[in-house]
Amino acid sequence: MTNKLIYDNLLLTENNLGKGREMMVRERLDPEMRKEDIQKAAMALFSSKGFNNTTMDEVREKSGLSAGGLYYYYKNTAEILYDIMDRGSRMREATVTNTVQHMGNRLTPHVLAEIVVDKMLANNPFTPIYVMFLGEIKKNEQLNALYEKLKRDSITYFKHFMNGYDCGLFTDDDYEFVTNLINASLLSCEILDTRENFLKNRQHLVSMLEGYFTRLTSQ
């Protein structure tokens, strides 16, 4: 074997080792990206097949992972669904912050009403999955427990968020009412196709909620 051939083989081996190390580092550094890829694959399956009809093997095949790779991150489809809902919640929280900033960084009853109506009429890739999630919680104790945790986390977030604004103190019952109103509207929009009608009457919804928040903040 010539010196050049030996050198070329060593260079090829080093390059392959380098790529292997790079892949290992990426695997260590990007667990959230990998989980997001799994969630996207699961969302496509949940949308086409339904949550109950989707298996972990189908998620594995759709995501392109090995069985070990998939189960390293998630043990079942309920865990994946929860993380999808949690990611959607964090995106909505960012949207709320942007809305308040866009409206002068003041959390008035009108701004609160606009925020809630935005949530009531939400139409994004997470919405049908969230409605599917709501439809499953009465039949699945694990999902019901996950829903209650999501709701508690959401209420905690809004309490901290609203502490920075002079808009009165809301009780847990107030938050519960608004959460139930949002969920009822989303179920109606997705199952009864009422979104277009609600959008036409959006200003009435805003006015009703503005009156509600005005009474709460004046107490």
Residues 35 and 138 both lie in one domain: no
Using alpha carbons, select from 84, 87, 34 the residue that is nearest to residue 60: 34
Residues 57 and 154 both lie in one domain: no
Which pLDDT does position 7 carry in this prediction?
Answer: 43
Residues 94 and 154 both lie in one domain: yes
Residues 61 and 89 both lie in one domain: no
Residues 132 and 30 both lie in one domain: no
Residues 20 and 56 both lie in one domain: yes
pLDDT in tens, 12-34: 544 554 545 444 544 554 888 99
Residues 106 and 67 both lie in one domain: no
Q: Which of 24, 41, 75 is the last residue of a domain?
A: 75
Residues 107 and 184 both lie in one domain: yes
- Locate tokens 């799994």: which residue? 38
Residues 2 and 97 both lie in one domain: no
Is residue 11's pLDDT more than 60?
A: no
Work out whether the CA dihedral 154, 164, 167, 116 comes out positive or negative. negative
Which pLDDT does position 9 carry in this prediction?
Answer: 52
3-class DSSP string for the chain? CCHHHHHHHHHHHHHHHHHHHHHHHHHHHCHHHHHHHHHHHHHHHHHHHCCCCCCHHHHHHHHCCCHHHHHHHCCCHHHHHHHHHHHHHHHHHHHHHHHHHHCCCCCCHHHHHHHHHHHHCCCCCHHHHHHHHHHHCCCCHHHHHHHHHHHHHHHHHHHHHHCCCCCCCCCHHHHHHHHHHHHHHHHHHHHCCCHHHHHHCHHHHHHHHHHHHHHHHCC
Is residue 158's pLDDT more than 90?
A: no
pLDDT in tens, 160-186: 887 777 666 688 899 999 999 999 999
Domain count, the chain: 2
pTM of whole model > 0.95?
no
Q: Which of 52, 75, 98 is the last residue of a domain?
A: 75
Which pLDDT does position 64 carry in this prediction?
Answer: 94
Q: Which of 26, 53, 75 is the last residue of a domain?
A: 75
Phi, psi (rounded to 5 degrees) for 32: -70, -35
Q: Residue 74: left (phi > 0), alpha (psi -120 to 50), or beta? A: beta
Q: How far apart (Å, rounded) are the C-alpha atoms in residues 86 and 88? A: 5
CB 63 within 8 A of CB 37: yes
> Per-residue b/e over 137-146, b at no fewer than 16 CB within 10 Å?
eeebeebeeb
CATH number of the domain to which 46 belongs? 1.10.10.60
pLDDT in tens, 64-100: 999 999 999 999 999 999 899 989 988 888 888 888 8
Residues 71 and 87 both lie in one domain: no
Q: How far apart (Å, rounded) are the C-alpha atoms in residues 168 and 170? A: 7
Residues 30 and 137 both lie in one domain: no
Residues 175 and 213 both lie in one domain: yes
Using alpha carbons, select from 102, 101, 83, 80 the residue that is nearest to residue 91: 83
Provide the domain limits for residue 65: 1-75
